[in-house]
Amino acid sequence: MFTLTDKVVFLTGCGSQAEGWGNGKCIAVLFARQGAVVYGVDRNEAAAAETRRIIEAEGGRCIAATGDVTRAEEVNALVADCMARFGRIDVLVNNVGLSMPGDPATMDEALWDAQIDVNLKSAFLCCKAILPIMEQQGRGAVVSIASTAGIRNTGKPQAAYAAAKAGLIQFSKVTAVDYARRGIRMNCVLPGLMDTPLVRKLAEQFASENTGADLDAFTRRRHNQVPMGRMGEGWDVAHAALFLASDEAKYITATEILVDGGLCAAVRN
């Protein structure tokens, strides 16, 4: 079940920005294990190359490309390269994302713009380039990695990130309806509190910048917020994305899968 044999997957944010397994790296490896040809894009050349090495060591197929998917000309060039190599794109996974703190009164305008670009504009640009290809093929699946921050108050000042992820969810819904009769499905995965390399890196940065901040206490608090008593991991996100990308989800579009250990249902910060 949930096989992706010979399907070409265009995946953004395919590498982990720190040691370990982030969402994109897990998605790339899992999809390759299910038979997909992964065209992975990341701004970090070394991170993308590491993902490719893991996939190839397991006998899978992966292209590691470097690029900034917040820039239209780079997206178009990457998509053109993928098409030149494989002649089709069956699955698009919009995975890039980054959360930086700030409220409207204190956030620098440039930081706001950057958050909207990486979390929302990147998905728009990739869809703009790839949806016409999928339409010509007569089928395709788009999976966007959003966040529970897009549907709930996280209790943290992350106005730009939350707004961008809410926008990504609605962008996916509206576009999914427009493209439903063209054989294209669009859905979102909404991770909750996750234990990924990027989250740990941001937590360590916060602890170093705030004297007396306790990194272990921060981690325990995140675990305790979740009804299951623990944060999720990149593999949890990857398996949800795999289902939505697979033909087993052929009647599912314009919706979201929560991967949050019950966090949103508990309605607490």
Active site residues: 161
CB 160 within 8 A of CB 107: yes
Residue corresponding to tokens 């590491």: 50
Rounded (5°) CA angle 182-82-19 = 110
CA dihedral 157, 149, 155, 98 (to 10 degrees): -40
Asked if residues 39 and 84 have their Cβ atoms less than 8 Å apart, the reply is: no
The answer to whether residues 197 and 141 touch, using CB atoms and an 8 Å cutoff, is no
Using DSSP, state whether 269 is helix, strand or coil: coil
Nearest of 8, 12, 3 to residue 42 by alpha carbon:
12
Q: How far apart are CA 76 and CA 99, in angstroms?
A: 25
Per the DSSP assignment, residues forming a β-bridge with 102 are 158
Distances (CA, A) of 109 to 69, 115, 150, 160, 245: 20, 10, 20, 10, 36
Q: How far apart are CA 232 and CA 191, in angstroms?
A: 8
